[in-house]
Amino acid sequence: MAVQIPYRRELEFGYGAMSRLGPRIRRVIADNPSPFTLYGTGTYILGNGEVAVIDPGPADPAHIDALLRAVEGETITHVLVTHTHTDHSPGCALLKAHSDAPTYAYGPHGAGKLEEGVPVEEGGDMDFEPDHQIRHGDVIEGGDWSVECVYTPGHTSNHMCFQLREDKALFTGDHVMGWSTSIISPPDGDMAAYMRSLELLLQRDDAVYWPTHGPCIDDPKPLVQAFIEHRREREAQILECVGRGVGNIREMVPIMYTSTPEFMYPAAGRSVLAAVEYLVQKGELVSAGPISLDGSYRLP
């Protein structure tokens, strides 16, 4: 691939232990490592005394205990949720048993797609319903912190980033991570929305990103730019495959993902499907029938 994405994976931490990352930022990482979560879900704590929590994580009592230990003697006043994948939001229900703090999110799983008339009924935490629905530009204020909500659909249709305004620090959830591209899996995942949400970040002046998974990103714009160029390369690869007569996604994946282990092919296929959907929307590809993994595609 021509585009080099400046990945970083190194991170010093211990499961169950709280790391202080700045005067207003702390993090506890859940013990749910995987090829999709790297070391696990990073739950952030904003402020001191009266704090906000971002993404309580999976339904893991040990992680919620660790989070409560980290804020002992303090009060959780707000629970912010970037999106409703099962490694991010199910911990809210466990936390409710220990805290009265209301939850804030764009909406339940699939909310952004439902507004477009597309129901999304799988692949997420279907039980989560936020106490407060938030929208782009909303500001949430607490003890010694304030947060701006930045709507960034693409990875999911309800994905929100949160900027800690005092630090110009953007909590990017799974929208931008320093160690991996984001999975864009239709129908809830949407490549056109994802690309717009990347462009949106280029217009902003965030100083640092704190993704849910992996280390912080202290020079964010070159990384965002690289992700945009990487997706454009993927689009070019798809058009090249189709131009050579490979019009089926399952056949494209091994050609396009030469350095990806085979067990990741299903996830890669979902990303190709998202890119194909985007190319059809743009009129650069024609689909013989409904757009799906088994569909067949040709150049216009």
What's the number of CA atoms in the CB half-sphere (13 Å) around residue 253? 19
Give min distance, CB of 112 to Zn ion, in A: 14
> Which residue sits closest to Zn ion, CB atoms considered?
85
Give min distance, CB of 241 to Zn ion, in A: 27
Q: Which is nearer to Zn ion, 27 or 85 (CB)?
A: 85
Distance CA(232)–CA(284), nearest Å, equals 13
Query: Which tokens hold the place of 248?
Result: 């089926």
Query: Which tokens hold the place of 239?
Result: 């058009």
Q: Which is nearer to Zn ion, 174 or 277 (CB)?
A: 174
Q: Which is nearer to Zn ion, 164 or 177 (CB)?
A: 177
Give min distance, CB of 155 to Zn ion, in A: 6
CB 26 within 8 Å of CB 19: yes
CB 48 within 8 Å of CB 38: no
DSSP class of residue 4? P
Give min distance, CB of 106 to Zn ion, in A: 13
Give min distance, CB of 138 to Zn ion, in A: 21
Q: Which is nearer to Zn ion, 174 or 206 (CB)?
A: 174
DSSP 168-189: TEEEEETTS-SSSPPP--TTT-
Q: Which is nearer to Zn ion, 37 or 77 (CB)?
A: 37
Residues that bind Zn ion (CB under 5 A): 85, 174
